[in-house]
Amino acid sequence: MIHAMIDLETLSTKPNATILTIGGVKFNPYNNIEPSQGLYHRIDVDSQSAMGRDIDPDTVEWWGKQAEDVREEALGDHDRIDLKYFIKPNKDDWKNILTTNITAQIVFCRLHYWRVPKKLPKTIDEQALYWKRYYNTEKGAGTIKHFKDIIND
């Protein structure tokens, strides 16, 4: 079974935190094969400030205590992209993201679930119900059976 790991480095611990970096990789925890190429983007902080995203002074202070190379990677100005690429892409961007980039798909799914007030369930049966209720919704074409079939393949 393929697993995915997502990592967001932020300037707050709130759900609307200013995002510094988004990283993700898919891997198989049951073998020693190197994970496939992942997703890694450095996000523009200024554009997020205009959106009202949160910056927590204690988190900024924590970043200030990290090693210089870590601070530079997280906080440096080079190679940043606007968060709007991820949250307000145009129709062609969405088509590309949602059909070709599994890591981005996983990131968006996790961000969506992060806003749900209930914790992610542990069992496949509970996850299927959770997915149908909070992600696919009653209006969606997906079924609980289809979710379980995909997971069990």
- pLDDT tens by residue, 94-143: 777 777 777 777 887 888 888 888 888 999 999 999 989 988 888 888 89
Q: How confident is the model at residue 30 (pLDDT cuts 50, 70, 90)?
A: confident
The CATH number of 3-115, from 3.10.450, 2.170.130, 3.30.450, 3.30.420, is: 3.30.420
pTM for the whole structure: 0.57
Q: Where are the domains of the chain?
A: 3-115, 118-153
Q: Supply the pLDDT for residue 130.
A: 92
Query: What's the 3-state SS for the chain?
Result: CCEEEEEEEECCCCCCECEEEEEEEEECCCCCCCCCCCEEEEECHHHHHCCCCECCHHHHHHHHCCCHHHHHHHHCCCCEECCHHHHCCCHHHHHHHHHHCHHHHHHHHHHHHHCCCCCCCCCHHHHHHHHHHHHHCCCCCCCHHHHHHHHHC
